[in-house]
Amino acid sequence: MELLSRQVLCCTPLPQLHLKKILTNISWDDQVILLTKTVKHPIIAEKPISITYQIAFMKKIIEFLTEAQIEIHDDIYDTHCQVLLKDKLKNSYHYKHYKVSDDDSSIISLKENSNLISDGTTGLHTWEASVILSEWCMQNAESLFDKNILELGSGAGLVGILTYKLCQPKYMCMSDCHEAVLGLLEQNVSINQDDDDECLNLAHGNAIMQMSKRNTTKRLGIIKLPWEEVEDFPSKTVPYPDLVVAADVVYDSSIFQPLIGAFKYFLNAKRKCEIILVNTIRNTNTIDLFSKYLEESNLAILKINQPEPLHFYWPSNLNTIIYKISNKQQI
């Protein structure tokens, strides 16, 4: 039931839920536990996941139990009615919650737009490649310790917030170019702020937001960074990165040149830096073209294996590619 809890909290598509094993011969008492682990989880009461998702989940539960001729607990029906009533009050934003441990001690909560495209951007939504990059960061936490890390196209903020909280980099810099995305990033950083986090005075810097762990040198920052203007990277405020990460930024051939130009800027031979890039393969022609441009850019490119899903869940048939990119002169 713990896996199901993780899946529902981050709104995993219903066909991918591990429901049959749990619901087959489920007891009366376990039906109540099922609710408290999913749609009646305390964090959902405070920060609701998509109402549409909750309705579809409850409907699927009731349909399965009815078909299996299992007596349905009154709380199941009551909860279904409650989410139906909430449907009339729903707005364009909801939350997703990513449980990184089996208990509730490490949960990343993200506010997201319910629409895949809003305000002319797809960045107000967490995509699967960000989940895989987050898993990669967790499994490589030792190598991220005390490093300066820059994320390009941070979107809703899963990768950067998780890395700052759990991988202990020296500086985690999150970036985007869209004002709506930057505003949402700032909200999500605040939502996940711990008691020992404190916001820093920005009077002498050009970051949108900076935060640090009290009594440490660990920091997180948010900056506006269009890839075409990467040479204006605010190194006086934000340290030059040891590692650049990005997820699901390869989707439109018109942005390939500025993106690769940004890669080449940070991979300047005078500085030691690497890039980890994770992308979902939706169109093989797009990925092939991007790979061709990368190879023509005189960069060292290594395809690495997708990590096993130890902390996060994603569909087993998800087709992704992960590049490790460095400057050939550094090899």
| CATH code: domain of residue 308 | 3.40.50.150
Residues 23 and 134 in one domain: no
Average pLDDT score over residue span 131-146: 95
Of 227 and 207, more confident? 227
Residues 210 and 281 in one domain: yes
CA distances from 232 to 173, 181, 206, 229 (A): 15, 20, 11, 6
Residues 64 and 8 in one domain: yes
Report the pLDDT value the prediction gives residue 120, as an integer from 0 to 100.
53
Residue-wise pLDDT tens digits, 150-188: 999 999 999 999 999 999 999 999 999 888 889 899 999
Residues 187 and 231 in one domain: yes
CA dist., res. 55 & res. 62, Å (int)? 11
Report the pLDDT value the prediction gives residue 90, as an integer from 0 to 100.
63
3-state secondary structure of 173: strand
CA 285 to chain centre: 25
In a domain, 106, yes or no: no
Q: Are strands 320-327 and 274-280 parallel, antiparallel or unpaired?
A: antiparallel
Beta bridge mates, 209: 222
CA dist., res. 81 & res. 87, Å (int)? 10
Mean predicted lDDT score pLDDT of the chain = 87
Residues 140 and 23 in one domain: no
CA dist., res. 274 & res. 1, Å (int)? 39
Report the pLDDT value the prediction gives residue 119, as an integer from 0 to 100.
53
Residues 21 and 77 in one domain: yes
Residues 231 and 289 in one domain: yes
Degrees to nearest 5, angle at CA 184 with 178 and 185: 85
Handedness of CA 202, 206, 207, 213 (dihedral sign): negative
In a domain, 109, yes or no: no
Beta strands in the chain (DSSP E): 93-99, 107-113, 148-152, 171-176, 197-199, 209-213, 219-224, 243-247, 274-280, 299-304, 320-327
State which amino acid sits at residue 100.
Answer: V
Q: Are strands 107-113 and 197-199 parallel, antiparallel or unpaired?
A: unpaired
pTM: 0.86
Residues 73 and 202 in one domain: no
In a domain, 304, yes or no: yes
Q: What are the residues whose beta carbons fall under 8 Å from the beta carbon of 142, sequence distance 6 or more?
A: none
Residues 172 and 320 in one domain: yes
In a domain, 8, yes or no: yes
Residues 16 and 149 in one domain: no
In a domain, 98, yes or no: no
- CB-based contact 142:123 (threshold 8 Å): no
In a domain, 99, yes or no: no
In a domain, 97, yes or no: no
Beta bridge mates, 211: 199, 220
Number of domains the chain is built from: 2
State which amino acid sits at residue 266.
Answer: F
3-state secondary structure of 235: coil
Residues 208 and 273 in one domain: yes
Phi-psi region of 155 (alpha: psi -120 to 50; beta: other; left: phi over 0): left
Q: Which of 75, 90, 105 is the last residue of a domain?
A: 90
Beta strands in 62-144 (DSSP E): 93-99, 107-113
Of 58-62, 107-111, 120-124, 292-296, give the lowest mean pLDDT range. Answer: 120-124
State which amino acid sits at residue 92.
Answer: S
Report the pLDDT value the prediction gives residue 117, as an integer from 0 to 100.
57
- CB-based contact 299:265 (threshold 8 Å): no
Average pLDDT score over residue span 221-240: 82
Instruction: Supply the range of the domain harboring residue 272.
Output: 114-330
In a domain, 107, yes or no: no
Residue with tokens 């909750």, as numbered in its chain: 54
Residues 81 and 225 in one domain: no
Of 48-57, 119-128, 248-257, give the lowest mean pLDDT range. Answer: 119-128
Q: For residue 40, how many C-alpha atoms fall within 13 Å in the half-sphere facing its CB?
A: 15
**Helix %, strand %, coil % of the chain (to 5):** 40, 20, 40
